[in-house]
Amino acid sequence: MVHHVIWKRIPDNGMEYCEVTFGAAMRMKGNLICANDNGRSSIQYTVLCDQNGNTTHVAVHVQQEQGYSTLSVVRDHLNRWTLNGRELPELNGIKDIDIGVTPATNSLPIRRLKLDVGQSAQIDAAWIRFPALSIQPMKQQYECVSANTYIYKSIESGYTARVNTDDNGIVMDYEGEWQRV
């Protein structure tokens, strides 16, 4: 089953088209364009997950005014991560990717955790930061406050946002950041 989503960036200029495919595994393929204080950029990404919803491979291609960059992030069956072939032991054990410029990857832990209303869970995510294009562990919390509404929290920074999803767990609105069109 394939779902097509378009999001509009709320605080500045940006749009994203994302194709989410469910089946034996899950694939997200997105294209973003944005203009903000960091300049203009075009970002394409693909995220592959296994049958349990764990991230297995991420490819990110970024075209910015300063040039072009590519990241290839892989998680193996022992939860070991590599970035462009280089091991990242600080990410060992992590199951989720968080691509910092898109609401799409918030759907991954929401779908994988299957929280009931009133439940919350803390996770570690492999966070790809922009515009630096660095990757680091990030402690996060998701709390299910209604059937399709979650409170997302970054444990380190304290940042919180309400995230509304459709019945498939795909983000519809990310408070103050993205809105599905």
Report helix, strand or coil for 176: coil
* Mean pLDDT within 98-114: 96
Distance of alpha carbon 28 from alpha carbon 36, whole angstroms:
24
Q: Residue 12: its pLDDT value, please?
A: 81
Residue 102's closest CA among 172, 47, 178? 178
Give mean pLDDT, residues 17-23: 95
* DSSP state letters, 14-59: EEEEEEEEESSSEEEEEEEEEEETTEEEEEEEEEEE-TTS-EEEEE
CA distance 94 to 108: 13
Structure tokens, 160: 């919180």
The pLDDT mean for the chain works out to: 94
- Confidence bin at 64 (pLDDT 50/70/90): confident
CA dist., res. 66 & res. 71, Å (int): 16
Mean pLDDT over residues 103-110, rounded?
97
The reported pLDDT for the residue numbered 171 is: 97
> Average pLDDT in the 44-68 region?
94
**Mean pLDDT across the stretch 36-51?**
90
Specify the number of domains making up the chain: 1
Report how far residue 169's alpha carbon sits from residue 92's, in angstroms, rounded to the nearest whole number: 26
First and final CA of the chain: distance in angstroms? 20
Query: Residue 102 belongs to what domain range?
Result: 2-180
pLDDT tops 80 at residue 37: no
* Sequence-ordered alpha helix ranges (H) in the chain: 107-113
